[in-house]
Amino acid sequence: MPVVAVLGAQWGDEGKGKIVDMLAEKASVVVRFSGGDNAGHTVINHRGKFALHLIPSGIFSPLTTCIIGNGVAINPAGLIEEMDHLNQRGIDTGRLFISDRAHIIMPYHILLDGLEEKWRGGKAIGTTGKGIGPAFADKSSRLGIRAGDLLDRELFRERLHAVLDYKNAIMAKVHGIEPLSFDDVYNQYCRYGERLASHICETTGMLETAVRRDETVLLEGAQGMLLDPDFGTYPYTTSSSPLAAAGSLGSGIPINRVRGVLGVFKAYCTRVGGGPMPTELTDETGELIREIAQEYGTTTGRARRCGWFDGVAARFSTRVNGFSGMAITRLDILDKLPVIKVCTGYSLDGETIDYFPANIAALQRCQPVYEELPGWQTSTCHARCLEDLPTAARRYVSKLEELSCCRSSLISVGSAREQTIEVRPVL
């Protein structure tokens, strides 16, 4: 299977990092195709424990080429820091390429992210504050600065002049803050450009070659389907698409070359930031899951909201992404629970529905309809094949498959690479 997308199927933080890190060993190329350093992937492998934000999780496989695709918004300071950190720990970043079409996060994006959140008051989205929303808004408004622009100083000077005057006016007149100095921003970003110059290039050609040679290419998603601006809980979403289709758009690989779409589902649900989450548990069970799983954000350290597996959302996710298989992660977190619930439908204003409403006021009113399954109350972290799992855990896996309308390919029972059950091959 030459081109396979690996995507978050819920609200992000499903454990894509581990899955991509594992699969990358067999891949020629790994491409990140959306999001920015709002994403945080924790990877634990033979080289140690790493928190990645922008660099594809394939960076640990010495023969794999890593590409930050055109669909990503890049904070150059963050990227350089991430590269330095990896280099210090002996990980080579010479095989990292950055699409010259990728947009760059500028200082005003980060400032405006915070100011706009403040403006929203009680309706704040709870963004990661990384400037992602304002950067993607500028991309659509044709006010963006792209990675390639940093390599052409005259072009960059011209672009920045036009944009910064406008941004400074908004910051001063709407938000009452000091303008940014053109020279400071220009010089700083020229330095970033110099540092990243050997990595920034046209990347669609190398992807075309890899695809033509039938090499394995992984499209690495960020965030999760329910944060998609179209199909997620808008406006409580991120600003670039985490969907399978975005894998093509954000890399330049034609859609008909994508052969597999692996949906990564956590065995329960989490969400960080504001917005509806029908199966959220605000009681001690939610707290117990958060503590066992250490559900705190990789990027912001915020406590994640925890809840039961949402079958309605899962089915919707499969519908719009066309998952060819699912990876179920963190099954071991449920090991101690005597009873596990799964949401099979929503009750909305007295009526049972089986779809995920677009209207967030309606979604807020949805009460989950639960089915209770017996827990297994034994450790699963040593399981390496389906037969190693207790019967109740296998029954739980089958229930998730049934609700998600998708068969499992991988089941993860711990953070180490070997703590994985391969039910059917992904690649």
What is the spatial distance between Cα 373 and Cα 390, in angstroms, rounded to a whole number? 13
What is the spatial distance between Cα 298 and Cα 333, in angstroms, rounded to a whole number? 18
**Which residue among 13, 21, 37, 228 is the active-site one?**
13
Q: Tell me how far CA of residue 179 lies from CA of 80, 116, 175, 416, in angstroms.
A: 26, 16, 11, 48
Site residues for Mg ion, 296-315, by CB under 5 A, read 298
The pair of three-digit structure tokens given for residue 197, joined into one six-digit string: 């110059």
Amino acid at 304: R
Q: State the binding string over 36-75 for ligand IMP (x if CB under 6 A, else -).
A: --xxx-----------------------------------
Q: Tell me how far CA of residue 389 lies from CA of 275, 325, 386, 397, in angstroms.
A: 35, 20, 6, 10
Q: Point out which residues pair with 357 in neighbouring strands.
A: none
Instruction: Let me know if 13 is a catalytic residue.
Output: yes
With respect to ligand IMP, which residue has the nearer C-beta, 125 or 218?
A: 125
Tell me how far, at minimum, the Cβ of 83 lies from Mg ion, in Å. Answer: 19
**Which residue among 21, 37, 41, 199 is the active-site one?**
41
With respect to ligand IMP, which residue has the nearer C-beta, 2 or 40?
A: 40
Please select the residue that binds ligand IMP; options are 223, 251, 415, 420, rule is CB under 6 A.
Answer: 223
Instruction: Give the CB-side neighbour count of residue 55, counting CA atoms within 13 A.
Output: 31
Please tell me whether residue 276 binds ligand IMP under the rule CB under 6 A: no
Please tell me whether residue 127 binds ligand IMP under the rule CB under 6 A: yes
What is the spatial distance between Cα 120 and Cα 127, in angstroms, rounded to a whole number? 11
Q: For the chain, what is the largest distance between any 2 Cα atoms, rounded to a whole number of angstroms?
A: 66
Instruction: Let me know if 388 is a catalytic residue.
Output: no
Q: Tell me how far CA of residue 413 lies from CA of 53, 120, 399, in angstroms.
A: 23, 40, 17
Site residues for Mg ion, 33-72, by CB under 5 A, read 40
Q: Which does 31 bind (CB under 5 to 8 A by kind): Mg ion, ligand IMP, none?
A: none
Q: Which does 227 bind (CB under 5 to 8 A by kind): Mg ion, ligand IMP, none?
A: ligand IMP
Tell me how far, at minimum, the Cβ of 113 lies from ligand IMP, in Å. Answer: 7
Please select the residue that binds ligand IMP; options are 133, 247, 260, 345, rule is CB under 6 A.
Answer: 133
Tell me how far, at minimum, the Cβ of 334 lies from ligand IMP, in Å. Answer: 20
DSSP 89-133: TT---TTEEEETTSEE--HHHHHHHHHHHHHHGGG-----SSSHH
The answer to whether the beta carbons of residues 78 and 54 sit under 8 Å apart is: yes
The answer to whether the beta carbons of residues 222 and 14 sit under 8 Å apart is: no
Please select the residue that binds ligand IMP; options are 273, 311, 357, 368, rule is CB under 6 A.
Answer: 273
With respect to ligand IMP, which residue has the nearer C-beta, 269 or 397?
A: 269
Q: Which does 311 bind (CB under 5 to 8 A by kind): ligand IMP, Mg ion, none?
A: none
Please tell me whether residue 82 binds ligand IMP under the rule CB under 6 A: no
Tell me how far, at minimum, the Cβ of 53 lies from Mg ion, in Å. Answer: 9
Nearest residue to 262 (alpha-carbon basis) of 45, 70, 412, 128: 412
Site residues for ligand IMP, 350-389, by CB under 6 A, read none
Helices (H), 121-237: 132-141, 153-173, 182-196, 204-212
Binding site for ligand IMP (CB under 6 A): 11-13, 38-40, 125-128, 130, 132-133, 222-223, 227, 238-239, 272-273
What amino acid positions are annotated as catalytic residues?
13, 41
List of residues contacting Mg ion (CB under 5 A): 13, 40, 298
